[in-house]
Amino acid sequence: MKLISALLDLLFPPKCAFCSRPIVRGELLVCPDCGRDLPRTGSMCRVTGDYFICCVAPLFYKDKVRESLLRYKFAARRIYADTYARLMLEGVLREFDGAFDMLTWIPVSRKRLRRRGYDQARLLSEALGGLLGVEAVPLLEKIRDTAAQSKMGSAEKRRANISGAYRVLDPELVADKRILLIDDIITTGATMSECAKTLLLAGADKVMGAALARRRD
Ligand SMILES: [Zn+2]
């Protein structure tokens, strides 16, 4: 097996998830330079909104982080999910260790899933669930396509755009549960608020969130 993986590394050298430079294989696909310079959120890691306790995100959505996420979502770099999950783990443990019963994600619509072939937030929650030893369970469904939140402008428009866009797949699964909700990027928290509201209305006890990156507007 060692020989095979050495051969594979020679043929397809592992690359940094943030700058695409070849790297030595390790737990994280992050080169030493990116390890040092990634735009970390530090004391600004918490995003608050309605209906969820808070959402932790280790990175700001800019520069290399933005480019990496665009490759992850639109250029089939599913392999980044594990690296992203490892970057999210510390904040999740610090903020919410022992505070949630299950993990789920903010899903894309069926139409988008068909076009892209994978749900980026689902891959992220499955990778994070693996690290936490907590199963990632599908709880929500996006029942209508919405315009991109980034094109909406005001907070009010963002809320209106996303209102009623999700439903709970099985209320029995969420009843009295404390749920960690995962997304790749969080901006104002309007989408996370809408999903948290949907889960609470279906009987969930509490909702908290985690994302890889927060966007500053
Ligand atoms: Zn790098």
Rounded to the nearest angstrom, the distance between the alpha carbon of 16 and the centre of ligand 1 is 5
Amino acid 87: pLDDT: 96
Rounded to the nearest angstrom, the distance between the alpha carbon of 34 and the centre of ligand 1 is 4
Rounded to the nearest angstrom, the distance between the alpha carbon of 91 and the centre of ligand 1 is 21
As a three-state string, the secondary structure of the chain is CHHHHHHHHHHCCCECCCCCCECCCCCCCCCHHHHHHCCECHHHCEECCCCCCCEECCEECCHHHHHHHHHHHHCCCCCHHHHHHHHHHHHHHHHHCCCCCEEEECCCEHHHHHHHCCCHHHHHHHHHHHHHCCCECCCEEECCCCCCHHHCCCHHHHHHHHCCCEEECCHHHHCCCEEEEEEEEECCCHHHHHHHHHHHHCCCCEEEEEEEEECCC
Rounded to the nearest angstrom, the distance between the alpha carbon of 7 and the centre of ligand 1 is 22
Rounded to the nearest angstrom, the distance between the alpha carbon of 31 and the centre of ligand 1 is 4
Amino acid 25: pLDDT: 76
Q: At 112, phi and psi to the nearest 5? A: -65, -35
Rounded to the nearest angstrom, the distance between the alpha carbon of 125 and the centre of ligand 1 is 23
Point out which residues pair with 211 in neighbouring strands: 183
Determine the Cα–Cα distance for residues 207 and 176; give it in Å rounded to an integer. 11
Domain boundaries, the chain: 1-36, 38-214
pLDDT tens digit string along 88-118? Answer: 999 999 999 999 999 999 999 888 888 888 8
Determine the Cα–Cα distance for residues 25 and 29; give it in Å rounded to an integer. 7
Amino acid 217: pLDDT: 56
pLDDT tens digit string along 47-64? Answer: 999 999 999 999 999 999
Rounded to the nearest angstrom, the distance between the alpha carbon of 102 and the centre of ligand 1 is 32
CA-wise closest residue to 48 among 212, 192, 217:
192
Rounded to the nearest angstrom, the distance between the alpha carbon of 64 and the centre of ligand 1 is 8
Rounded to the nearest angstrom, the distance between the alpha carbon of 106 and the centre of ligand 1 is 28
Determine the Cα–Cα distance for residues 52 and 208; give it in Å rounded to an integer. 5
Q: Which fold has domain 38-214?
A: Rossmann fold (3.40.50)
Instruction: Supply the pTM of this predicted model.
Output: 0.91
Below-70 pLDDT ranges, the chain:
1-2, 5, 8-9, 217
Rounded to the nearest angstrom, the distance between the alpha carbon of 29 and the centre of ligand 1 is 8
Rounded to the nearest angstrom, the distance between the alpha carbon of 23 and the centre of ligand 1 is 8
Q: Could you report how far apart the first and last alpha carbons of the chain are, in Å? A: 47
Amino acid 39: pLDDT: 96
Rounded to the nearest angstrom, the distance between the alpha carbon of 84 and the centre of ligand 1 is 13
